[in-house]
Structure 1
Amino acid sequence: MSRSKPAAGAPAKTAGAYLDGAVFLSGACTLVLEIVGTRVISPYYGSSLYCWSAIITATLVALALGYYLGGRWADRNPEPTIFALACAGAGLAIVTIPLARSWLLPATASLGVRAGSLAAALALMGPALVFLGTLTPIAVRLRTDLLANVGSRAGRIYALSTLGSVIGAMAAGFWLIPNFPISKILYGCSMLMLALSAVCLAFSRSGWAWAGTAAAVCVAFYGWRPQDSRRTNILLSRESPYGQIKVMDFNRHRYLLVNGTTQSLASLDTLESESEYARAMEWAALLRPGAERALVIGVGAGLLPMALERNYPLSVDSVDIDPEIIEVARTYFGFSPKRGAATVEDGRTFLSRCAAQGRRYDLIFLDAFATESPPYHLFTLESFQVMRQALEPDGILAVNLVSLVHGKGGRPWRSAYKTLQAAFPGVRAFMASDAYEGLANIVFLASAGPLHDEKAHSRLRPSIKADVLSMLSRELKVSGPEAQREALLSDEHAPIEFLLAESALQWRRGLQQRVPDILLY
């Protein structure tokens, strides 16, 4: 094998160190892109198992193509300029991601969650990942001077690339995403790759080194420009470990959104809930007028726990896995419980501790969502059994689920109903909001005690009376044959995301039709 020039006019050791460093950094960029990619497509497709599968598939396909092309390019022209051009291609492709998503995501939404998320991931992330994939085989070719050491050189290059990926994964999850907007992370990756290209061209004493430097500077100025001042209705946009959190004012309402889906809706005048289902869920408290302690799993904007504490003699504890959500609820929605505590913890582990310590609640409200789907482990038979253990003997579990109501689209709520029946002697299900394109909030009440109380009607407050009576008039039933066909959700098998795929897409379509410009900016 003939010796290839590592960098014209530069000491071989310096050129080799540059290649090692560039491969390490490109490996880091690859994993940052893969992890950030879920946040890029989440405004239209959520962060479900389908979206992660789409991102991973797109990454592997693009890298495979990049490895193939990089090997061919390196054999045809084993010069540092090829490496520099591949770095530049990656940088320019990355900068198109935040620019193209505003029109590309709506264009793919009609394909559905599975095909649409895969198409979006391939179109947005694919070109950059292909260029990043070419760098490793090119670097192997440039770093190999003798056939006798090709194995050790290739092993070194792939080890550095993989170590870079480890650092990139840690940086994305532990530092970048929680602290920076997604677009700025992408612009930063683009600048890095363009800078690597400029350095390589400078080593090669190419007259094009200035072009890579100029491109990196342009990306820096564009990426860190002041945000559009017309978007003053957006009060907050923050990344948390569990999703992109936004707070916005729109049509005299304040919205809390996570990954582009509405989690809470409040009146701007009172900061009280404007959601029918949230007011209707108070029926559980009216069925147990002697209740003293309640637990809300899934804080959201804190509207439900505050309403319960304000209107009933209850001590209301709240639990949410995302500390940022609790902080946002306090800052923008007036969440300040006086007779209960807000805990940052997974709802199920919190319940397990309560059951183990003998701590019981009269009421438990399950209103937790990972964007448009609930965390699957909270909707299994084993989870509902733990909730029953954490309830007083006649306590009530109230559960909110967003689902299509009829036909095959209604499988999610029917499966949840069947699973609740396996854990509680008494279960009732109601449509707690008007259906929008067949989609509605389904509220379940489950208990070992009675779920009927005619006297409770006399205790209805005027502000919730219409919503509660509307809910009670729309009770849903599951026949024996229907229940037999539905899945019993368990820790071993809980396909809740699969069952909710159609409902989730309908939820997002409805939001996009009502307030489309809050999703991408």
Structure 2
Amino acid sequence: MERFIIVVTGGAVLCLQLVASRIMAPFFGVSLYIWTGILSITLLCLAVGYYLGGRYCHAAPIAAVRSVFHRIPALSGLALTVSAILYPVSLGPLARIDLIAGTFLASIMLLAVPLVAMSALNPLLVALERDRRRSDGDAGAGWVFFLSTLGSVAGVIVAAFALIPHLASRQSVLLIAALLCLLSLAGIGSARDLPRRARLATAALAVLGLLAVLGIKAAKDGPATVYDDANTPWTVLASYPSAFGAMKVVEIGRGDGAVRALINDGLSQNGFLADGRHAFVFTHFLETVALNLVPRPRRVLGLGLGAGALAEAFAAKGARVDMVEINARARFVAEKHFGYRPGPETTIHIADARTFVHACQPAYDVVFVDLFVGDGLPEHLSTREFFDDLRRCLAPGGVLAMNSFLDTADMSYYRSLLATLAASFGTVAFVEQDRPGSRALTNGFLFAATDPSVLPAIRSLAVDRNRVPPSIVARMAASLQSLQLITAASPLVAGIPILTDETNRALALASSSQLNFRSTLVWTIPDSILVD
């Protein structure tokens, strides 16, 4: 039984690390700095646990070692229930203090006690194995760490394929906590030589942990409607776990001015007004520019489904639409909550955009790209090789329309992105979405074509005022004032290294901007909308 415990707790350690990353992502993002915090705290906790477990074995009699060994899973489970109570109310304040420091503090709150405790099990079991074998050599250390690592491998698989895609993060934490408490109860049931007092103490701790799990599960969730600092109501209509973060359907505002939005880890992917029209500038801008340059597209490729806004718009023009979406849950949410109804001329492919594009044929009149993970464009979708593949997907006269995040205060990453696009297409039309002067973050709209001579026509954009709300028409006109045609010789990108698969510095270049973007989100969106 003791060896089984080391396998299960080894799995729990890695499960918790992955689940913790999902818990923290809506508040802290997934930048290089954030992962540094999570991994360093995890490794530090493991090191401390190994050390403390070893020290305890030197000082304690073997009977005490066995008692503590069986008690640790229950202690870890109880600590996890405390974390499940604390993190929904503490992650927001920690993120608003400082994203990087907050990452370390949040990791400690979520992981420190269970990880230190469970890693201490390894030296404790080595001591038990040595006592059982009465032999020298490695005293069973190799076997113990083999079992623990085997459990860790299983834990990663369980977290990735069972917990994260199907359960909310809090439910996953509580499930792991309950499993650990049950593990202690099973352990004392099989360890007949444990003293009665040790058995009762472990049982009490395990039962307390299980009662805490049941109490948290039975407690009512917070209010469905919360208010931001501007007193705007945010109402969660539905929430779905997925392998790519929690997907929430949220109504923002009241009455005719309300927006129903799809929010994924804090990112608003699509939004609709009460009258069914798109609520965000980027969907109107990409659609309008593409249809101005290619008025009657026959085939359209969309990378990123969102709530189906752009896919539906191009299908309504009679185009055959291929949509590529990596998140299998997205179609269900789009159909159930946003009225998306793909017709027979629309095909949805559940695939990674890079893989699909690499194999596609030069058949598309329009390719639109609206791909985000965490706080920006995935790094493998920002390289010369990817954009070369996109160019090959376009039919003669075809147009690329792309949405992206833009940090005007730090253009390091964006200049490399523009330089890379220009290297693939020759000329890129770059439009900065209008923004208040005090705000550095906005959207950047990028357009390219197999025939770059068509791009200047964007300046005389014709807008369908029946489809586009007046307020967005005005914002589109203001955005057009920023239009630049970028080539490799343009001052904005001259001398800037392009991004390639071999020399891809996207993650490092974008880290500062990603922190700025996530910091803006945690000050804008109510905590209960972000928490998973």
Question: One fold, TM greater than 0.5?
Answer: yes
Pairwise CA distance, 1:481:
4.8
Q: Which residue, 226, 243, 247 being the options, matches 1:241?
A: 243
- Go from structure 1 to structure 2 and tell me whether the alpha carbon gap of 1:288 and 1:278 turns closer, same or farther (over 3 Å shift): same
Aligned partners of 2:80 and 2:114 also within 8 Å: yes
1:166 aligned partner, one-letter code: V
Structure 2 unmatched runs, 5+: 226-234
Is the aligned partner of 1:19 residue 2:2?
A: yes
Aligned partners of 1:271 and 1:334 also within 8 Å: no
Q: Which residue, 231, 249, 264 being the options, matches 2:270?
A: 264
Q: Give, in whole Å, the separation in 2 of the partners of 1:470 and 1:66.
A: 58
Identity %: 29
The aligned length equals: 497
Partner of 1:4: none
Is the aligned partner of 1:287 residue 2:293?
A: yes
Q: Give, in whole Å, the separation in 2 of the partners of 1:28 and 1:454.
A: 55
SS in 1 for 2:515: helix
Q: Which residue, 201, 208, 230 being the options, matches 2:223?
A: 230
Is the aligned partner of 1:163 residue 2:150?
A: yes
Partner of 1:333: 338
Partner of 2:42: 59
SS in 2 for 1:489: coil
Q: Give, in whole Å, the separation in 2 of the partners of 1:458 and 1:190.
A: 58
Pairwise CA distance, 1:152:
5.2
Pairwise CA distance, 1:64:
0.7
Partner of 1:130: 116
Q: Give, in whole Å, the separation in 1 of the partners of 2:37 and 2:367.
A: 36
- Go from structure 1 to structure 2 and tell me whether the alpha carbon gap of 1:457 and 1:157 turns closer, same or farther (over 3 Å shift): closer
Q: Give, in whole Å, the separation in 1 of the partners of 2:459 and 2:405.
A: 29
- Go from structure 1 to structure 2 and tell me whether the alpha carbon gap of 1:49 and 1:270 turns closer, same or farther (over 3 Å shift): farther
Is the aligned partner of 1:488 residue 2:498?
A: yes
Pairwise CA distance, 1:169:
1.2
Partner of 1:399: 402
Pairwise CA distance, 1:418:
0.9
Q: Give, in whole Å, the separation in 2 of the partners of 1:68 and 1:262.
A: 45
Q: Give, in whole Å, the separation in 1 of the partners of 2:479 and 2:68.
A: 66
1:174 aligned partner, one-letter code: F
Pairwise CA distance, 1:181:
1.6
Judge which range, 312-321 or 222-231, deviates more: 222-231
Q: Which residue, 438, 456, 475 being the options, matches 1:452?
A: 456
Matches for 1:120-199 after TM superposition, within 5 Å = 120-145=106-131, 148-149=135-136, 151=138, 153-199=140-186
SS in 2 for 1:453: helix
Q: Give, in whole Å, the separation in 1 of the partners of 2:493 and 2:252.
A: 41
Partner of 1:466: 474
Partner of 2:259: 253
Is the aligned partner of 1:212 residue 2:218?
A: no
Structure 1 unmatched runs, 5+: 1-17
RCO comparison, higher one (Cα < 8 Å, 6+): 2
Pairwise CA distance, 1:158:
1.6
Q: Give, in whole Å, the separation in 2 of the partners of 1:460 and 1:272.
A: 12
Partner of 2:92: 106
Partner of 1:375: 378
Partner of 1:318: 323
C-alpha RMSD over aligned residues: 2.4
Q: Give, in whole Å, the separation in 2 of the partners of 1:128 and 1:458.
A: 60
2:209 aligned partner, one-letter code: A
Pairwise CA distance, 1:28:
1.2
After the TM superposition, list the runs of 4 or more consecutive aligned residues in structure 1 that deviate by more than 6 angstroms.
none
Partner of 1:414: 415
2:75 aligned partner, one-letter code: G
Partner of 1:15: none
Is the aligned partner of 1:39 residue 2:22?
A: yes
Q: Give, in whole Å, the separation in 1 of the partners of 2:495 and 2:22.
A: 35
Q: Give, in whole Å, the separation in 1 of the partners of 2:206 and 2:115.
A: 21
Partner of 1:8: none
Q: Deviations over 1:59-97 (max 9, x none)?
A: 111101100000111221132222234333322222222
Aligned partners of 2:178 and 2:209 also within 8 Å: yes
SS in 2 for 1:393: strand
SS in 2 for 1:262: strand
- Go from structure 1 to structure 2 and tell me whether the alpha carbon gap of 1:503 and 1:273 turns closer, same or farther (over 3 Å shift): farther
- Go from structure 1 to structure 2 and tell me whether the alpha carbon gap of 1:414 and 1:75 turns closer, same or farther (over 3 Å shift): same
Aligned partners of 1:373 and 1:504 also within 8 Å: yes
Aligned partners of 2:259 and 2:272 also within 8 Å: yes
Instruction: Return the TM-score normalized by structure 1.
Output: 0.88
SS in 2 for 1:274: coil
Q: Give, in whole Å, the separation in 1 of the partners of 2:485 and 2:515.
A: 25
- Go from structure 1 to structure 2 and tell me whether the alpha carbon gap of 1:507 and 1:466 turns closer, same or farther (over 3 Å shift): same
- Go from structure 1 to structure 2 and tell me whether the alpha carbon gap of 1:179 and 1:227 turns closer, same or farther (over 3 Å shift): farther
- Go from structure 1 to structure 2 and tell me whether the alpha carbon gap of 1:455 and 1:498 turns closer, same or farther (over 3 Å shift): closer
Q: Give, in whole Å, the separation in 2 of the partners of 1:196 and 1:255.
A: 42
Partner of 1:11: none
Judge which range, 390-399 or 479-488, deviates more: 479-488
Aligned partners of 2:73 and 2:181 also within 8 Å: yes
2:280 aligned partner, one-letter code: S
Instruction: Return the TM-score normalized by structure 2.
Output: 0.87
